[in-house]
Structure 1
Amino acid sequence: MGDYRIIDVQLDDRTILWRSADIEQERRVAIFDLLEGNSFRLVTTRGAPHDGPYRIRLRVEDGRLAIDIADSDSEHIETIVLALSPFRRVIREYFAVCESYYQAIRQSTASQIETVDMARRGIHNAAAETLIERLSGKIEVDFDTARRLFTLICVLHIRG
């Protein structure tokens, strides 16, 4: 029986030019939550099958998401590359609603914050479903893992 989970996640900091305190907090929470509970199973492998656990590194290269996957000893297993074009619109929408959410937290009523947060969660959920579909046949993840990975993908897209 395999150990189908991520035990370490890194972001390619060369991709990230700037992070606000809010975004840095989102990154920390997403990584913490991801490592606390996730389901991640590599489906395609070059060579012998590998059952995990996994160490992953997320990076953007030539407009694509690259997920470098290594074993628990940091030996590279495989790199999965996904086109980011299906995510561009939803990433822009997510950034816009997150900015509204951060502003609402600072100056709005509880009901206004809840309304913006519902919109943020809706976009986030749709993006997680898209990520699950795009990973199909390569990596199997559960919904919560996909949501946290999407948050980290967004962090990689922040430009100052």
Structure 2
Amino acid sequence: MICATTTPSSFRLCAVSLDPPHASKTDSAQQREQGVVISDLLDNNIFVPAEHGGGPYRLVLALKDRYLGLSVATERGAHVLSHHLSLTSFRRLFKDYSLVCESFANAAARLTPDRLEAIDMGRRAIHDEGSELLRERLKSKVEIDQETARRLFTLIHLLVSQTLPAGAD
């Protein structure tokens, strides 16, 4: 886990990790993306657990069956909350997000910039929908801003894509 102190608030994440940390299906591009997303998340985030006095916080995301386990502790390791979030309502979004990201990657070398921009606009729309759903589903446990939700959605998508068998959604 990496701790960063660039965000001055005590209501922020100082460390994020995925469990399993490097699933067997993770390729180098996914590992790089995961590293960038975590770094960006730690640089700037708002993370306010309900009824807690302040952190900073360590977050562990883990997949268990069709649930996402969120485990939050303070920087010093004191337990703050554990929550299991059903991923059922995210299944279509994860599938659509995977397809549009794959389309963008495959088309990058052969399409004009305006066509690539159209695909990327679709990707951003799905990303926004997923992050808003995540905010809604977590609001009773933790308040997060839009950018934090977007980065967490990306990490959850990476975790799901690393751990689910091919063809599963």
TM-score normalised to structure 1 length: 0.89
Say if 1:15 and 1:157, in contact at 8 Å, map to a contact too: no
Counterpart of 1:145 in structure 2 is 148
State the Cα distance separating 1:23 from its structure 2 match: 2.4
User: Distance between the aligned counterparts of 2:22 and 2:69, measured in 1?
Assistant: 12
Q: Which runs of 5 or more residues in structure 1 are unaligned? A: none
Distance 2:87 2:27 in 1: 23
Give aligned-pair identity as a percent.
37
Structure 1 residue 32 and structure 2 residue 39: aligned?
yes
User: For the residues of structure 2 that align with 1:119 and 1:96, how far apart are their CA atoms?
Assistant: 11
Q: Does 1:99 align with 2:106?
A: no
Matching of residue 63 in structure 1 with residue 63 in structure 2: no
Segment drifting more, 28-37 vs 122-131: 28-37
Q: Runs of 4+ in structure 1 displaced over 4 angstroms?
A: none
State the Cα deviation string for residues 2-57 of structure 1 (Å, max 9, x = none). Answer: 7110000000126833123332232122111100100000015xxxx341110000
Aligned to 2:28: 21
Q: Which residue, out of 9, 12, 17, partners 1:5?
A: 12
Counterpart in the other structure of 1:53: 56
Query: Which residue identity does 2:140 align to in structure 1?
Result: G
Computed over aligned residues only, the root mean square deviation of the Cα atoms, in angstroms, reads: 1.7
- Aligned residue for 1:106, secondary structure, equals coil
Deviations 1:48-98 (A, max 9, x none): x34111000001113111111010112322212111111011001000111
Aligned positions, number:
155
What is the letter of the counterpart of residue 81 of structure 2? E
- Say if 1:136 and 1:31 are closer, same or farther in 2 by CA, change over 3 A: same
* TM-score, with structure 2 as normaliser: 0.85
Q: Gapped runs of 5+ residues in structure 2?
A: 1-8
* Aligned residue among 81, 88, 91 for 1:88: 91
